């Protein structure tokens, strides 16, 4: 473990005590574990229903400790990102067991803010933990149905006010608590560790680096998740926002996407809340932090991968357009596919415009080239899998028109080719132990409160 200061060392010692974990908990297990904790510690845990999902699941918050600080931690804002479910559970358990940990702060923990979406991912939560299996059972809500990105938003020509019940529940909690810190529990898929924070805090970037290093995880030093992200240090970025994304898209001469809203962090900033996102990967690759030059200009990689992604999106759009009149409108998978494919179809154009502004002499790093290549691989596995589930789900429910059957067979054949290509990378990937992923997120959460307290002292 690298040398760290006293407070961070104590945090890391707690984080490294997280036991081995062999699966991700689904909605019912999350509720069962947190309810049992509340029943065991009625003097410490306040259990409160804060909302109801669109399909009728209760959404519950568990509060532990006393103020004056208020911390808000919420998991499942993207229901395909389950590391945070364990982080929320472990944090609640430790708060009940350790008086020192809860001194001076009331921790408000939402174990799962999107139960409906989470249930559509539970098909891979018990493994096997390989990329092909994971992404074949992947579900990500349409942008306007993501809790993280469905907060009210008005900027220039963009306007969004179709706030879902789940996001509205979180809004009410934010306005009530006016939290000192908020941690939205996310994770990525393959790569290194990276972070977003809404405020530069002295010494915090170094602490975030030390946390990842203590678990032997690389930082993500390749292509940023979005060109909008402003680095505060290696693999640490200022929190991305809907406004910044709008301005960047507009600067390229493109029409900004305006069918979703702002983020939870943007909303919480009105209360002076400092928010953190720690992005953790299930798998790492040796190229993730390789800063050596590749043998290809960066602009050339952008164009090459834009063309490859564009070709695959065009095929999926063709299949979906032919099937759409025969698919059920009440399916979350259909709605998500209907939103994502046109949205993703704009990315190749954006990347070609980016390439035109790049210095043609700049050589890509190995990490950048691998990252851009893998975005293409990931997108077609993710969203091709969702399209396939939408088609085969219609057939499985016994309501599919005859036209859907050949489209499903075509998509299944294409998807197998993509799976076979992805599987050739398996021998190069390292599967990160779940306990280490939870440990990094847990430690970063505690370190954020410490950094904000230092800043205020």
- Encode pLDDT of 224-260 as tens digits: 888 899 999 999 999 999 999 999 999 999 888 778 8
Site of tokens 């600067």:
251
pTM greater than 0.75:
yes
Q: Is 392 left (phi over 0), alpha (psi -120 to 50) or beta?
A: alpha
Average pLDDT, the chain: 95
Residue 9 banded pLDDT, cuts 50, 70, 90: very high
Give the DSSP letter of residue 130: S
d(CA 273, CA 260): 22
Query: Which pLDDT score, from 0 to 100, does residue 329 have?
Result: 82
Cα distances (Å, whole numbers) of residue 378 to 289, 348, 392:
18, 15, 21
Provide DSSP, 33-88: HHHHHHHH-TTTEEEEEEEE-TTS-EEEEEEEE--SEEEEEEE-SSTT-THHHHHH
The mean per-residue pLDDT over the stretch 217-224 comes to 91
Domain borders along the chain are: 6-285+432-456, 288-428
Q: What percentage of residues in the chain have a pLDDT greater than 90? A: 94
* CATH level 3 topology of 6-285+432-456: Aminopeptidase (3.40.630)
Token digits of residue 403: 């036209």
pLDDT band for position 399 (50/70/90)?
confident
Q: State the pLDDT confidence band at 457, using cuts at 50, 70 and 90.
A: confident
What is the structure's pLDDT at 1? Answer: 46
For residue 257, what pLDDT is reported?
77
- Whether the per-residue pLDDT at 6 is higher than 90: the answer is no
| 3 pLDDT tier (thresholds 50, 70, 90) | low
Per-residue pLDDT tens over the stretch 154-179: 999 999 999 999 999 999 999 999 99
Give percent of the chain with pLDDT exceeding 70.
99
Give the contacts of 187 (CB within 8 A, at least 6 positions apart).
Answer: 81, 82, 83, 84, 279, 280, 281, 282, 437, 441
Give pLDDT tens digits for 322-333: 999 999 888 999
Give the tokens for residue 16: 């490294």
- pLDDT beyond 90 at 140: yes
pLDDT category at 115 given cuts 50, 70, 90 is very high
Q: Check residue 271 and give its pLDDT.
A: 98
């Amino acid at each position: 473990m690298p040398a760290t200061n006293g407070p961070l060392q104590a945090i890391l010692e707690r984080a490294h005590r997280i036991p081995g974990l062999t699966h991700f908990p689904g909605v019912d297990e999350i509720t069962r574990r947190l309810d049992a904790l509340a029943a065991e510690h009625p003097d410490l845990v306040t259990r409160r229903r804060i909302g109801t999902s669109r399909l009728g699941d209760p959404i519950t918050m568990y509060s532990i400790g006393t103020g004056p600080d208020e911390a808000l931690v919420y998991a499942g804002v993207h229901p395909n990102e389950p590391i945070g479910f364990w982080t929320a559970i472990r944090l609640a358990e430790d708060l009940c067991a350790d008086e020192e940990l809860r001194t001076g702060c009331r921790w408000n923990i939402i174990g799962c803010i999107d139960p409906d979406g989470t249930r559509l991912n539970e098909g891979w939560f018990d493994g096997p933990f390989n990329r092909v299996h994971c992404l074949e059972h992947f579900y990500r809500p349409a942008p306007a149905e993501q809790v993280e990105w469905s907060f009210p938003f008005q900027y220039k020509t963009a306007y969004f006010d179709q706030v879902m019940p789940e996001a509205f529940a979180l809004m009410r909690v934010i306005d009530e608590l006016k939290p000192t810190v908020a941690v939205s529990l996310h994770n990525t898929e393959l790569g290194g560790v990276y972070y977003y924070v809404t405020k530069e805090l002295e010494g915090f970037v170094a602490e975030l680096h030390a946390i990842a290093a203590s678990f032997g995880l690389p930082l993500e030093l390749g292509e940023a998740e979005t060109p909008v992200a402003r680095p505060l240090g290696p693999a640490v970025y200022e929190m991305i926002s809907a406004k910044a994304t709008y301005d960047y898209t507009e600067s390229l001469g493109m029409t900004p996407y305006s069918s979703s809203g702002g983020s939870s962090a943007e909303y919480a900033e009105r209360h002076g809340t400092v928010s953190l996102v720690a992005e953790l990967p299930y798998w790492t690759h040796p190229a993730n932090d390789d800063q050596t030059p590749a043998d290809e200009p960066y602009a050339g990689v952008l164009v090459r991968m834009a063309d490859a992604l564009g070709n695959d999106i065009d095929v999926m759009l063709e299949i979906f357009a032919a099937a759409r009149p025969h698919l059920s409108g009440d399916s979350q998978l259909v709605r998500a596919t209907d939103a994502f494919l046109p949205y993703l179809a704009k990315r190749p154009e954006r990347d070609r415009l980016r390439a035109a502004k790049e210095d043609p002499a700049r050589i890509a790093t190995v990490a950048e080239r691998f990252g851009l290549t893998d975005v293409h691989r990931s997108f077609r596995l993710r969203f091709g899998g969702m399209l396939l589930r939408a088609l085969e789900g219609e057939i499985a429910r016994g309501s599919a028109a005859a036209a859907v059957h050949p489209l499903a067979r075509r998509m299944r054949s294409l998807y197998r080719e993509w799976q076979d290509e992805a599987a050739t990378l398996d021998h190069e990937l390292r599967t990160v132990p779940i306990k280490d992923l939870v440990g990094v997120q847990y430690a970063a959460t505690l370190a954020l409160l410490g950094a904000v307290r230092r800043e205020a002292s």
